[in-house]
Amino acid sequence: MTDRRKIAATVTLLALALSGCGGGSTEDKVGRLMDAPDKFFLFTCEQLEIKAKAALARQKELQQLMAKAETTADGRVVSALAYRSQYTEAVADLNEARRAYAEKDCKPSPVMTKPRG
């Protein structure tokens, strides 16, 4: 591999790593593209709440792993490659479960309420 190709590959990886820095709205947009619409259509309210709790726990776990990995420059690349897509999927699952929960007119639940801010 030539030096020029190595530089191009490095720049591409850095661009991918930095593309996830947009915050929650970026995850929501990408998550909607990755997640199947009406994925939880046949779930009951109780099943949706269980799925949302699992997605929220996974999201928090991945946030911790990304924060730990991002303490070095190499770690940022690893974080983007290893954890970002999983994190985006967990966010999408949580949002889709919350949407389905609201559409089914289930009883209010703290887990199913999207935090403000």
> Which amino acid makes up residue 12?
T
Tell me: the pLDDT tens digits for 61-103?
999 999 988 888 888 888 888 899 999 999 999 999 999 999 9
What angle is formed at CA 60 by the lines to CA 117 and CA 17, rounded to 5 degrees? 85
Q: Which of 12-16, 20-24, 53-57, 65-69 has the lowest mean pLDDT?
A: 20-24
Confirm whether pTM is higher than 0.85: no
Tell me: the pLDDT tens digits for 1-14?
566 666 666 656 55
13 contacts: CB under 8 Å, gap ≥ 6: 77, 80, 81
Lookup: tokens for 83: 């954890």
> Which amino acid makes up residue 90?
A
What angle is formed at CA 106 by the lines to CA 44 and CA 88, rounded to 5 degrees? 70
* DSSP H/E element including 24: helix 24-34
